[in-house]
Copies of this chain bind each other. A is one copy, B any other.
């Protein structure tokens, strides 16, 4: 299946870009993202139009890229500004594709389709990632599977009991009240877990001693594969009654048809969650995503062996409603784009 092109994809974290250029293949296209030297960001094709060398192998300065093979210099708009050879001809074809790019909420967003349409749609807004009361934990992993399998995983969180002991205690999947909802082209999957035993995750956040919580984890998807997860817990123990939120983004960007860049963020309210817990919280979640989700999703990709998901006739269950809706919304959007 082709990719959705006229859409914003997460290309990296702003803090990553602050540390240096980002070179990443996105939708099968090599891209290099740089500081443009004017307070902005440029995302350019990471392939010299002369002889197809990767520009990210060369010297990258603020606002310019120098091809490592023949020394062409490109500015942050992708125009060749210096040809060191002979009379220095700079034919029009010496132009890098310049992808629209935005920085918002600590995320670097890239637009992979028709640049003239980029202004018609804003990147997803996740303002809790930049709210002053919040601190944000971030992580990246590469998943060796198609990005829609990762979306599936995030629109049905009932797998947590079976994969993630840190997140969901044994025997609690049964109690999840699942509900999917589609509003226009957005799909939400609500997971309500009333009066359940506390989890290791929330024990970390709430401190020891809490017995019972109302838990919830509501996944909000928009095409192509950007998800916000409202996760949180309300303490039920007598005399407590705290409400703690750990809102998350899970931003999935196809590297290729069979590999996915997975950027995740979890916000914590700095007034509630003690900063000394950040490392443990990060480790617990990174472990869940990298060492519990990823191997399973990769195994599913291998079992599918290149076949189409629906053509394989999956035995769909109520808790698959969200992911099935998301797959259909995306397939329709891609089909419309191919017309």
Contacts and interface: CB of A to CB of B under 8 A. Distances in A.
Interface stretch (A89-97, A111-119, A232-240, A327-335): A89-97
A68 interface: yes
A158 interface: yes
A171 to B, nearest CB: 8
Given A30-B303, A85-B158, A300-B52, A315 B91 contact: yes
Interface stretch (A5-13, A43-51, A124-132): A43-51
Contacts of A303: 30, 47, 52-54
A172 to B, nearest CB: 9
Interface in A15-62: 28, 30, 47, 49-54, 57-58
Find the residue from A53, A67, A95, A178 having the highest chain B CB count within 10 A.
A53
B174 A69 contact: no
Contacts of A319: 70, 85-86
Contact of A317 (B47, B50, B53, B316): B50
A299 B95 CA distance: 20
Interface residues of A, number: 53
Contacts of A269: none
B304 A70 contact: no
The dominant DSSP class at the A interface is loop
A315 B49 contact: yes
Contact of A159 (B69, B156, B163): B69
Given A317-B85, A317-B91, A70 B162 contact: yes
Contact of A174 (B47, B84, B305): B84
Interface of A: 28, 30, 47, 49-54, 57-58, 67-71, 83-89, 91, 93-95, 152, 156, 158-159, 161-163, 173-174, 176, 178, 296, 299-300, 303-305, 312-320
